[in-house]
Amino acid sequence: MINIVGLQKSFGRQKVLDGVSLSISDKELIAIIGESGGGKSVLLRHLIGLLKPDRGKILVEGEDITKVSGRELDGIRQKFGVVFQGGALFDSLTVYENIAFPLKEKTKLSRREIHERVEEALEDVGLRGMEDKYPAEISGGMKKRVALARALITEPKIVLFDEPTTGLDPILLHAIHKLITDTHKKYGFTGVMISHDIPEIFHVVDRIAFLYKGTIEVVGTPKEIRASTDPVVRQFIKGSLKGPIEIA
């Protein structure tokens, strides 16, 4: 589904990605974990073409997203749904309008069809009755759920989650994780999730990729990652202060 090959990206003299290679299979849910400021979000932004790499390529169903622009790039972007870290909901639109927005702007569905789809999405994320609220009037957890509903409303093939549970309490964190797994089962998308939620994430995803010093240090199933003898991975999972990872 997605093939990342030798991706490199620097900002000024700072090398953030130093040859990232990763294959993501169809309908797989994969988490990318790693240090804060280690380039996870940068990697995610490359997947949707918000950033251009210095070197390397990203093949989405065989098409290299790093080589296209304009309408061709927009064509590839139609396959994606993105849940941004803060939700990125449009302030001037209500919850209902935010979810309906991609359908209104990108499809020729009738008003009634859009209404039915939005109602279903609201039901999926448990936000019935919140339609007329503005983003400023709802909690952080609700914003994440609205963002998820908006990302899924067009039934994309690939959904990117940029730290979807950051800043949430443990109960909401589990609720969002359950919502992601439920919707993944229902819609069958390929999911790429940036996360810091260790060990909770082990119960959510099919595979985990560990990004360290600009490359994928290790990739495997949650079971394999837990059993890893790599000192970097072990230190990260345990959250230990001692080990090869130095705190900046």
Which residue, 73 or 130, is less far from other proteins as judged by CB? 73
Q: Which stretch binds other proteins (CB under 8 A): 87-95, 119-127, 163-171, 175-183?
A: 87-95
| Cα-to-chain-centroid distance, residue 141 | 16
Strands 207-212 and 29-34, sheet pairing: parallel
48 near other proteins, rule: CB under 8 A: yes
37 near other proteins, rule: CB under 8 A: no
142 near other proteins, rule: CB under 8 A: no
244 near other proteins, rule: CB under 8 A: no
Q: How far is the CB of 161 from other proteins (least distance, A)?
A: 12
* Selected binder of other proteins within 11, 21, 25, 50 (CB under 8 A): 50
211 near other proteins, rule: CB under 8 A: no
221 near other proteins, rule: CB under 8 A: no
User: Binding to other proteins (CB under 8 A): which residues in 101-120?
Assistant: 101-102, 105-106
Which residue, 82 or 225, is less far from other proteins as judged by CB? 82
Q: How far is the CB of 9 from other proteins (least distance, A)?
A: 16
Residues in the interface with other proteins (CB under 8 A) total 21
Tokens 């985990």 found at: 208
Tokens 């939005």 found at: 118
Tokens 């609220």 found at: 133
Q: How far is the CB of 148 from other proteins (least distance, A)?
A: 13
Query: Which residues bind to other proteins, rule: CB under 8 A?
Result: 45, 48, 50, 73-75, 77-78, 80, 82, 84-86, 88-91, 101-102, 105-106
